[in-house]
Structure 1
Amino acid sequence: MKLSFTKLKPNSPDFRSIKQLYMRAFPDEERAPFLMLVLKAKKKGVDFWSISCDGKWAGLLYIVNHRDLSYIFYLAVSEECRGIGIGSAVLRSARKIYKGRRLFLAIEQLDENSDNYQQRVSRKDFYLRCGFSELHRKLREGDVIYEILGVGGDVKAADYEALMKSYAGSLLSKLFTMEFVD
């Protein structure tokens, strides 16, 4: 399995496929406006990757970097490419690309009352199998509480706030409702 990572640009041949996958893979309440993601990806420290496997387009990876911190905002593998190890391979590659950095992501917390509880359990198990660890921190965005998983070290609220300020700017970062919770 040979993965290729290419920075997404509006004229990329897979731009439309990435937008469609993004819209299908993430629920409304967990999606930032796609245009904002594309525009922010022009900034230094923001990586919007189009992923190909053995020459075939396979998914997307969106990472925001600040100092020694890298936040996986979004990772999605095309439905046609799931279940054959591409997601695991993407994470292994990301760990190499961002080696020496604290790499983290947020997943919906396990809640037995949620409609997609089993999906949440499977997602968490996947990331744990891929070498991520529980950081025993949570984020709240609107009504959704996320659990933080990572590799390379702990992530504190001040680290996250600095990353978001760097990504979104002073004014816009105040509009983000995501915050660390106990």
Structure 2
Amino acid sequence: MLNPQWQEIIRQLAYPSFISNEKSEILAWNEAAAEILFDFDSLPALERLMLRLMFTDPSLRQRMVNWEEFARHSVAVFRTYYDKQHGEAFYKEFVERLCADSPDFKRIWELHDVEHKRVNRVYIRKSAEAVPNAYDIHSVASIAEHPDLHICVYTPVLNASQDIPENTAGG
């Protein structure tokens, strides 16, 4: 159970922000995250898995201009948690299910890349027709008494419009 104080902190942040765990479960989020990323309230708690949404939600995928790069990093970070929790049923079942549901996840998973979280830039459109906005994702790890939780804050990057990559989201 997440401390209600942490939920309130996230709610008050101006930038899109959420708290997740190593399983990629979204545990708390603010209105900006629901507007820019995904309406997490629309899903039951057990289905609020950011990694799964990246691969199975066509709208989110289409709005992420640098989807391939972002997906590869996200899977590599998830693999570090998977390897650390070797044998835990959730991880094995999650990977098997996502491999079955997404050929792209399966392809990236089979690369066996491992990475640590780092500041990562993502380009997201509010809608499929909108101009993308650049965000640097800052992750604050080790929330008091919960080393498996982290806060992700999507900080807008000013003057990044000249750096917007071609849409690499694919199918």
- Shorter-chain TM-score: which interval? 0.3 to 0.5
Q: Which has the higher strand share?
A: 1
Q: Which has the higher helix share?
A: 2
- TM-score by structure 2 length? 0.35
- TM-score by structure 1 length? 0.34
Looking at both structures, which has the greater relative contact order when contacts are Cα pairs under 8 Å and sequence separation is at least 6?
2
